[in-house]
Amino acid sequence: MIARRLGLPVILGYLVGGIAVGPYGFGLVGDVEQIRTLAEIGVVLLLFTLGLEFSLKTLRQMGKVAIVGGGAQILLTTALGLV
């Protein structure tokens, strides 16, 4: 709610809120393993939701840009991971 009132993206508010209540903020939630488990569940649900909204027709329209951009991202991420 605060992020929205400040005109910031809601996801930024979620991130700041998570940091604030986590073990490295005010310490309201201290069990790091439980946080990791919940984070993994959140990622799975996010990917599931994206999969439901994903359209092959849209991907075909984006075509070359999506393939080149995706390939570049994979290569860059791999290169940074090796450093």
Q: What is the 3-state secondary structure (H, E, C) of the chain?
A: CHHHHCCCCHHHHHHHHHHHHCCCCCCCCCCHHHHHHHHHHHHHHHHHHHHHHCCHHHHHHHHHHHHHHHHHHHHHHHHHHHC
Rounded distance between C-alpha atoms, residue 68 and residue 74, angstroms: 10
Residue 59: the pLDDT is: 77
Domain that holds residue 74: 2-82
Give me the tens of pLDDT residue by residue for the chain, a chain 83 residues long: 788 888 989 889 888 988 888 888 888 877 888 888 988 999 999 999 988 888 888 878 888 888 899 899 999 999 999 98
The token duo for 48 is: 């599931």
Residue 77: the pLDDT is: 95
Residue 75: the pLDDT is: 95
How many domains is the chain built from?
Answer: 1
pTM assigned to the model: 0.51
